[in-house]
Amino acid sequence: MDTGTQRRWNAEDAAGFSADGGVPASAYGDSTSRSLARILVDPATEHCWDASDALPPFLRDAFTDAVLRCLADPGSLDEELRTVQAATGPAMRQARGGQDTVAFLPSVCARGG
pLDDT tens-digit readout, 18-55: 777 888 888 887 898 889 888 888 888 888 888 777 78
DSSP 8-state code for residue 106: S
pLDDT tens-digit readout, 78-111: 999 999 999 888 767 766 766 656 666 677 888 7
Q: Is the pLDDT of residue 7 over 80?
A: no
- DSSP-derived 3-state class of residue 55: coil
DSSP 8-state code for residue 21: T
Residue 59 burial (C-beta neighbours within 10 Å; 0-12, 13-18, 19+): buried
DSSP-assigned beta bridge partners for residue 61 = none
